[in-house]
Chains A and B, each alone.
Chain A
Amino acid sequence: MNTALSWIKAYVPELDCTAQEYTDAMTLTGTKVEGFEKLDADLDKIVVGQIESIEKHPDADKLIICQVNIGDTTTQIVTGASNVSVGDKVPVVLDGGRVAGGHDGSKTPGGIKIKKGKLRGIESNGMMCSIEELGSSREFYPLAPEEGIYILPKDAVVGSDAIELLGFRDVVFEYEITSNRVDCYSIVGIAREAAATFGKEFVPPVVKETGNDEDVNNYVKVTVEAKDLCPRYTARMVKNIKIAPSPEWMQNRLRASGIRPINNLVDITNYVMEEYGQPMHAYDMDTIEGNEIIVRRAKDGEEFETLDGQVRKLDSSILMICDANKPVGIAGIMGGENSKITDDVKTVLFEAACFDGTNIRLSSKKLGLRTDASGKFEKGLDPNNAIEAINRACQLIEELGAGEVVGGVVDVYPEVREEVRVKFEPERINKLLGTDIDEETMINYFKKIDLGYDEKTREVIAPTFRQDLHCMADIAEEVARFYGYDKIPMTLPQGESTEGKLSFKMRVEAVARDIAEFSGFSQAMTYSFESPKVFDKLLIPQDSDLRKVITISNPLGEDFSIMRTSLLNGMLSSLSTNYNRRNKNVRLYELGNSYIPYELPLDRLPDERMQFTLGMYGEGDFFTMKGVVEEFFEKVGLKEKITCDPNAGKTFLHPGRQANIVYDNKVVGFLGEVHPYVLDNYSIGERAYIAVIDIPSIVELASFDRKFKGIAKYPAVSRDISMLVPKDMLVGTIEEAIEKRGGNILESYKLFDIYEGAQIKDGFKSVAYSVTFRAKDRTLEDKDINEVMEKILKELASLGIELRK
């Protein structure tokens, strides 16, 4: 919403402040000013000049020499423009003055300084200006020539300030109006707030009675069939229309609001729309058949040509304005080609109605047609405003001499919208705000913004234009706004103390972050939605559960259309981005949710499972990744060791280099080297490794309880075991055997050699472990160790392992 300060001042005559003061004060009372533009910021020393004579430039075909009367004197100006004639009044920037930009419409910050000089040897003491040089455009000055000097009205006073004459001594404010303040989408609404903010008198336009002694009800009948979508429909008629340009003051105000002036009739409807926030429509009465207006829903599949020449497909949710035989407009959105105003119009039917906001919004979306009018209607307008607006329009018709207003109003308004009354509870208001404002002060605030107060019932009366006031809290906000949000004290909540804490899951996540980062992995974040194509990219089998996905019904595009069931694609895509930007040795991790539906289509909320996902390429291998995973499990306090089961069955991983991470017979994650095909699909040119840990599973197992076990007092004894192991046997099997038979004196074991090759017999590998024993309460003797070693060796032998002596 853009408005000129001059228009606001028209209704708050005493308003006297700088643009910055206005911005700050209005923003603090809730009418947020986003910014402002001083129209004359880059204009200086521009006066009305009158061309007294024109002669050709002796040395340049395209230049002319003008003698221009600038009031107290006549000055010589050379120009290349061809549209000026003797007697024309033109804007003249004098020596040392400034214009806003070039004649091509380009703007120069700070403006362009104009100095006198010589053009092809002839002295020129200034410049005559085009509309572009004045900082505007032909869009808003349709009568300005395409390339040439802007010609001022004949009644302009020679020598006077042209900037003032053109209405550029003004500031245009841009507002951000919140959706609850429908009334502030209008000049009158903003002016009311401005008056209250600055403590000045609010003088709204006075709407006079208009019209001849005829009655419009004798000319036209209105029937509202779709009462639910049209709470009020008012209509008035104007005869003997005289189309002409509207006066400059009206055009200037419209331009400041970003509206192009067209002619008096169109301008009046736009003017009233801005002023009252009530969109209006004008129909050529001679096109209305049967002297009848019917407001009804469209028929499904019906087609209609709007006045922009487009044919629109309708359905029965869309509200239409019709005559006895045909639709003439889409209600609240756009009129029809068949009833639009032309320059030959004789009689006009004005419509100011109130339509259901939601319906207009949905229809506008359905049709892909958003207009100034629909933008206003969709906010839900006050039906009581419609009659004011239509009468105001008729008043302007009379004032501008644009036609003869027919007396009376057609008004279909079956259910009158009443004011809302809210109990006035000053103590509760103070209790909510934490203030100590007295009653009288509060009541004064209400008066400033036209809220009523009923002393007998102690009720605040909200007029219908304030649709946002319903309860004590709403009234409290009105009090707070005018008391000043800045004056409300700053305190800290008192009362019962509460325990500040993170959830247990968040503590587990924090450990994951620490371990990952300590191991060189940086934290990534990727989107929760992705393309359904990722499953093929990851070689996920057709029948995999991972493909059972939640689909977004209105995604931004196919690439963002399903909720991820794993973070693999995000991780591999991120690794790929890094690889293709030639980043070396990249390690990333992400802690994010996967979304696993309990059923499809979705009926309950899905299982959101946080997946700790790590990915890397460059330095390191499978066992680097395994190390990170094990560190994590140790740090979250898992009591037992995890094991790696090579039968993970992940199609996206290297078949010989993958493992499920198993804890207490439960799979809690997996890791492995990415399958070469998948690497190819993600354009990653070297080996990459992935690990995924299911955080909910870990949360169940984790514990941050620690107990000190004492530091060993007695010496440890180590024994080496050297063995020949069947090639396919996992060292994990050997370790299980050692643990199983090691008894309570087994302290640790360490693999120190593994070898396959020439000296080793076929089908076997050489494996060597160093096993360490220690007792808590004594120095171990050979006898103790031999006993246990024998058990271990026996167990190993039973697995088909040959011991090397």
Chain B
Amino acid sequence: MKEKLQKIREEAIRQMQEATTLDKLNDIRVAYLGKKGELTSVLKGMKDVPAEERPMVGQFVNEARTAIEEKLDEIKKDMEKKALDLRLKSETIDVTLPAKKSNLGHRHPNTIALEEVERIFVGMGYEVVEGPEVEYDYYNFEALNIPANHPAKDEQDTFYINDKIVLRTQTSSVQVHEMEKGKLPIRMLAPGRVFRADEVDATHSPSFHQIEGLVIDKNITFADLKGTLEVFAQELFGKETKVKFRPHHFPFTEPSAEMDVTCFKCGGKGCRMCKGSGWIEILGCGMVHPRVLEMRGIDTNEYQGFAFGVGLERIALLKYEIDDMRLMYENDERFLKQF
């Protein structure tokens, strides 16, 4: 009996090892372990086995069953793995085939630059505000200490609607609106469109953008102006950027300055971009002229402030190395898609 069982077990395992498909394997399982299978029939023949031997035979049968089942399981898993390996292999793709993109649109370089500037100043507690683009002559000039006979008021620079309304030539006019609100201290950033009567060419446009900054508080100093703009320059152009302040003249600031930054292309060694000087002029700034404050009823004994104005296109053109300003207003997708 024992030998018979041993033989059945060996035969079953041999057949299983020869099986090539899961179906075949299943047939073998049925043939040995099924209701009419060989092992089952051995069990059915137990009644013919002497009672004292039965436990032993039972144990043999169970051992054979377990061995067959284990082997069955092992071969089955092995087969499944082979099948999966085969499938995975057949599913190999060329990962260098083109991607399926969602064709996102692109932001205008002006906006990208503006958002960078806004991020920097909002972080320093500046509120971003807007003012009218069609503006009273008074706000654009007189309130900024530009008297009626100033050359800047000439028609060749300013677009006039009539004798009291102009297209603003500078975002500095927003300073006046902000001061008029009567709330101090002020930390303001005012981006926007400005207009000058310049013919269109590679470096000029009759319509462009400026960003105006204004801080008014007790104890604001020229040193604060320098420190603030240094932070700005380093955030915008990189930590290693150096700044240089040169005296300049604006009617609405005194003292006034222009700020240069070390050329962000060559790092100050001198290149084509900075015309060999290592420096690039970036913005105009200064301490708010006392007359501008006085006109708004701000006590200059108590309050002082600084202001600065940056050309947005200037930043964008320099930062993204755009060589022709006209591209900014043509809206050719081949241009826009590079940003």
Contact = CB atoms under 8 A, between A and B. Distances in A.
Interface of A: 27-30, 32, 178-181, 357-358, 361, 365, 378, 431-435, 468, 471-474, 476-477, 480-481, 485-486, 488-503, 505-506, 513, 516-529, 550-556, 560, 563, 574, 577-578, 581, 583, 586-589, 593, 595, 601-602, 605-606, 608
18 contacts: A179-B151, A365-B154, A378-B151, A433-B255, A481-B247, A491-B226, A495-B218, A501-B127, A502-B118, A520-B103, A522-B107, A523-B105, A528-B195, A554-B155, A593-B193, A602-B165, A605-B165, A606-B134
Contacts of A435: 222-223
Nearest to A430: B221
B49 to A, nearest CB: 59
B160 A554 contact: yes
Given A553-B162, A602-B165, A606-B134, 9 more contacts: A179-B249, A431-B221, A471-B254, A488-B245, A497-B125, A499-B127, A523-B105, A523-B108, A523-B336
A202 to B, nearest CB: 19
A491 B333 CA distance: 43
Interface in B216-239: 217-224, 226-228, 230-231
B217 A495 contact: yes
Given A28-B246, A503-B128, A563-B134, A492 B231 contact: yes
Contacts of B124: 492, 500
A521 B107 CA distance: 9
Nearest to B255: A477
Contact of A524 (B207, B249, B336): B336
Contacts of B111: 513, 523
B105 A490 contact: no
B274 interface: no
B122 interface: yes
Given A179-B249, A525-B328, A528-B195, A434 B222 contact: yes
B218 A500 contact: no
Contacts of A496: 185, 217
Nearest to A519: B105
Contacts of B102: 518, 520
Contacts of A29: 247
A577 B159 contact: no
A306 B127 CA distance: 57
B181 to A, nearest CB: 13
Given A506-B128, A518-B105, A526-B329, A492 B256 contact: no
B337 interface: yes
Residue with the greatest number of chain A CB neighbours at <10 A, chosen from B222, B245, B330: B222
A437 to B, nearest CB: 12
Interface string B76-107: 00000000000000000000000000111111
Given A434-B223, A492-B224, A524-B331, A560 B290 contact: no
A432 B225 CA distance: 11
Contacts of B230: 490
A178 B249 contact: yes
A556 B332 CA distance: 24
A646 B305 CA distance: 55
Nearest to B198: A556
Residue with the greatest number of chain A CB neighbours at <10 A, chosen from B165, B222, B331: B331
A189 to B, nearest CB: 15
Interface of B: 102-108, 110-111, 118, 121-130, 132-136, 149, 151, 154-156, 159-162, 165, 167, 185, 187, 193, 195, 197, 199, 206-207, 215, 217-224, 226-228, 230-231, 244-249, 254-257, 287, 289-291, 304, 328-334, 336-337
Given A490-B227, A553-B161, A432 B221 contact: yes
Q: Please name the 7 residue pairs, one residue from A and one from B, whose CB atoms are nearest each other, closest first.
A: A434-B223, A434-B221, A30-B247, A477-B255, A178-B249, A517-B105, A490-B227
A775 to B, nearest CB: 36
A493 B215 contact: yes
A506 B103 CA distance: 25
A498 B127 contact: yes
B231 to A, nearest CB: 7
Given A496-B217, A525-B331, A30 B149 contact: no
Contact of B223 (A361, A489, A527): A489
B200 to A, nearest CB: 8
Residue with the greatest number of chain A CB neighbours at <10 A, chosen from B102, B155, B231, B336: B336
Given A432-B222, A528-B193, A578-B332, A605 B136 contact: yes
Contacts of B199: 556
B254 A486 contact: no
Nearest to B244: A486
A488 B254 contact: no
A494 B248 CA distance: 26
Given A431-B219, A574-B331, A527 B224 contact: no
Given A486-B245, A491-B221, A495-B219, A605 B134 contact: yes
Given A180-B249, A490-B226, A552-B161, A525 B127 contact: no
Nearest to A521: B105
Contact of A473 (B221, B254, B336): B254
B128 A608 contact: no
Nearest to B328: A525
A494 B215 CA distance: 11
Contacts of B226: 485, 488-491
